[in-house]
Structure 1
């Protein structure tokens, strides 16, 4: 499964053209992805028939800036058609903030959701995985480390050994050369953003880049070796 980060309708169209299986819809990548406006959510849902997971995050950290406002936003996004979400909060001590998560989840009516890369910043990622699973997420997005997949491979191997659900979705500095190692460990779901934007975040998703990643994820292409 290949999930692609989208910032708007044009990204969604190009990601679908390239063979993406699902979208993560966010705003403000300078803050690593915040909640998009309801109007953008509506436009994206009209532009694609792919599943779209919408970010519920109102600050660059992993504690909500205004939990009540975030709950209201969740209801607004449901009203414009959002049916899948991405969220996850930590306490100041690096544990999953189950109370904050439950407060937002109570607004979502049982929608499918991903626990996002807050896990990378948890004091104990394996323990955090268990709490997230108990909250009902069907997916956990993680690089295994705040610095990205390169530094998180050991943790990712540990998580891949755990019985699911949830499904392990690997993303965050993911590169082609990571795929053979991760696939050998049993990972089957991958998440990309900058990797399918050759021109950077100021440019839209590139359909050809998505197609290459789709082929790689599905075992239909050869990985380009990392530079020596």
Structure 2
């Protein structure tokens, strides 16, 4: 059996997507507006990227910076966008909402997940802002399609969260810990050996795929360096 790990790369547009696939990315996370830490891209962007690459695409479902689902009207608009993306062929997603006290906003999450028709989805780094990670995992455990947590282990990034990542990896398969751990957020190549040794086999990069900064496209060479490190 192959020991190849999954490499997910953030893509903003077709140019990013083509470069990421050329570099060896297994999957893309599609977002817009990285100044707001990644929001839902227009359906037209999804359609153009879907037509340009043949790897998996996970689409961000998020209307505003931060981890709140916003107002009822915001949630209604997001549901409308989800329906449009599903009609366009989107079948994998990324989402996550917290209440102001750091507990999961189950009502908002369930409202969005109800539109996904069982599609696979990632609960994103909102988990790193949760008041109680274990409680969040157990509260979400029965939601259909939840197969991944994108996490750095801590809000400050992988350096800060390494101990948490290793502890959660050790619990894989126990109640609330069945979804795959996808490590991202301040992730560096130097972190990979200890994470791989712990059995973690999925990694997410954004800025690391853009050595020239977010105002420049994904570098296929940078992605290829990560792909080689994870072979």
TM-score over 0.5 (shorter chain): yes
Q: Is 1:206 the equivalent of 2:215?
A: no
Structure 2 residue corresponding to 1:158, chosen from 153, 167, 170 = 167
Show the counterpart of 2:32.
Answer: 27
Could you list the runs of 5+ residues in structure 2 that have no partner in the other structure? 1-5
Q: Which moved more, 1:158-167 or 1:176-185?
A: 158-167
Show the counterpart of 1:93.
Answer: 101
Matched positions, count: 218
Shift of 1:130: 2.5
Task: Measure, in 2, the Cα distance between the counterparts of 1:32 and 1:132.
Answer: 23
RMSD: 1.0
Task: Measure, in 2, the Cα distance between the counterparts of 1:5 and 1:58.
Answer: 17
Task: Measure, in 1, the Cα distance between the counterparts of 2:213 and 2:205.
Answer: 13
Task: Measure, in 2, the Cα distance between the counterparts of 1:4 and 1:101.
Answer: 24
Show the counterpart of 2:135.
Answer: 127
Q: How does 1:1-228 map to 2 (within 5 A)?
A: 1-65=6-70, 66-136=74-144, 137-164=146-173, 165-218=178-231
Shift of 1:24: 0.3
TM-score scaled by length of structure 1: 0.93
Shift of 1:187: 0.7
TM-score scaled by length of structure 2: 0.92
Could you list the runs of 5+ residues in structure 1 that have no partner in the other structure? 219-228
